Amino acid sequence: MATVKEFRNSIRPNWCPGCGDFAVQAAMQRALGNLDLEPENVAIISGIGCSGRISGYVNAYGFHGVHGRSLPVAQGVKLANRKLTVLAAGGDGDGFGIGLNHFMHAVRRNMDITYIVMDNQIYGLTKGQHSPTSSFGFKAKTTPAGNIENSISPLQVSLAAGITYLAQGFSHDVNQLTELIQGGIEHKGFSLINVFSPCVTYNKVNTYEWYKEHTVNLNQFADYNPLDRGAAIAKVIETDGLCTGLIFKDTEKPVFEDLVKGYQDAPIVDQDLTLGQERFDRIMAEFA
């Protein structure tokens, strides 16, 4: 039986002390342990940025890719070996900036992977530029007079694109975050867990105290139904996206892998991919 300890390795994270990403790592490890998964059956694919380092800090298969490309790699891994539990991880710049196109298509495909975004409203690794989720008027190195762009809403974009599992957590509440990540992994389909993960070095606006004051836990609304997409959209707008908890879940939409002809019978990982002369000649003849 696996435990959280089996998902810990000896590599010490080099995040700044107090970074919210420490809590995301802990919640991820707890969720994997709670689900009794084995490290050799888990793959974590990450992009570029402070958050992208997380694939090396968890004892499982890891792939540290290029900026904005964690989702294409994660989808390829899942298609090659459906036996793996595949998680993708990155930051708001990685996922909602250069990677937004990949994110939208991953949502609409509904492949069975879990995407965890550490959203700190700033580019931390490159020393403090504003990001796609930075609020209007936000002052950073690239916007000393205040950001003149409207921020993107990952929650509204996800719901509009047809996501089947959407949750949002806060690094201060590791217990809730663990539950949300665990729920995303258990969900059959594409899952997004957006996490308010404060950057204590470069973002002096969206701090732990700021989030404690401004976020609303959806558990306080007794009549809220996360199975209702319309209600989810309305609640996200009502709270200006500053809500935590399970926002929406759809269990009816089929997953991409189940619709791929022959996928269930002969996944790539179980196929003989040896390229003999006969197969090579046949392939070349197709392009003659």
Task: Give the pLDDT of residue 266.
Answer: 63
Show the tokens assigned to 217: 């836990």
Instruction: Return the SS3 of 142.
Output: coil
Task: Give the pLDDT of residue 250.
Answer: 96
**Which segment of 78-92, 106-120, 165-179, 252-266 scores lowest on mean pLDDT?**
252-266
What single-letter DSSP state applies at residue 169? E
Domain membership flag for residue 281:
no
Buried b / exposed e along 7-45 (16+ C-beta atoms within 10 A): bbeeeeeebeeebbbbbbbbbbbbbbbbeebebeebbbb
Is residue 263 pLDDT above 90, yes or no?
Answer: no
Q: What percent helix, strand, coil does the chain show, rounded to 5?
A: 40, 20, 45
The 10s digit of each residue's pLDDT in 124-141 is 888 889 999 989 988 988
The residue count of the chain comes to 288
Domain membership flag for residue 19:
yes
**Which segment of 24-28, 30-34, 91-95, 260-264 scores lowest on mean pLDDT?**
260-264
Reported as type and span, the H/E element at residue 114 is: strand 114-119
State how far the Cα of 233 lies from the Cα of 5, in Å rounded to an integer.
38
Domain membership flag for residue 276:
no
Orientation of helix 154-161 relative to helix 229-238, angle to 10° = 160
Instruction: Return the SS3 of 46.
Output: strand
The 10s digit of each residue's pLDDT in 223-233 is 999 999 999 99
Task: Give the pLDDT of residue 267.
Answer: 65
Is residue 119 pLDDT above 90, yes or no?
Answer: yes
Average confidence (pLDDT) over 158-170:
97
Task: Give the pLDDT of residue 270.
Answer: 73
Say if CB 139 and CB 203 are below 8 A apart.
Answer: no
Task: Give the pLDDT of residue 33.
Answer: 96
Segments forming the whole domain that contains residue 210: 4-262
Is residue 262 pLDDT above 80, yes or no?
Answer: no
Torsion of CA 27, 38, 91, 54, to 10 degrees: 90
Say if CB 201 and CB 125 are below 8 A apart.
Answer: no
Domain membership flag for residue 65:
yes
CATH number, position 185? 3.40.50.970
Is residue 1 pLDDT above 80, yes or no?
Answer: no
Domain membership flag for residue 277:
no
Task: Give the pLDDT of residue 167.
Answer: 98
Domain membership flag for residue 272:
no
Q: Label residue 264 by pLDDT band (50, 70, 90).
A: low
Say if CB 43 and CB 191 are below 8 A apart.
Answer: no
Global pTM reads 0.91
Say if CB 53 and CB 7 are below 8 A apart.
Answer: no
Is residue 41 pLDDT above 70, yes or no?
Answer: yes
Count of domains forming the chain: 1
Domain membership flag for residue 62:
yes
Give 87's strand partners. Answer: 44, 114
Task: Give the pLDDT of residue 148.
Answer: 94
Task: Give the pLDDT of residue 19.
Answer: 96
Task: Give the pLDDT of residue 2.
Answer: 73
What single-letter DSSP state applies at residue 65? -
Mean pLDDT of the chain: 93
Domain membership flag for residue 76:
yes
Name, in order, each residue with C-beta under 8 angstroms of 104's C-beta and a sequence gap of 6 or more: 157, 161
247 CB-contact burial (10 Å; exposed 0-12 / middle 13-18 / buried 19+): buried
Is residue 272 pLDDT above 80, yes or no?
Answer: no
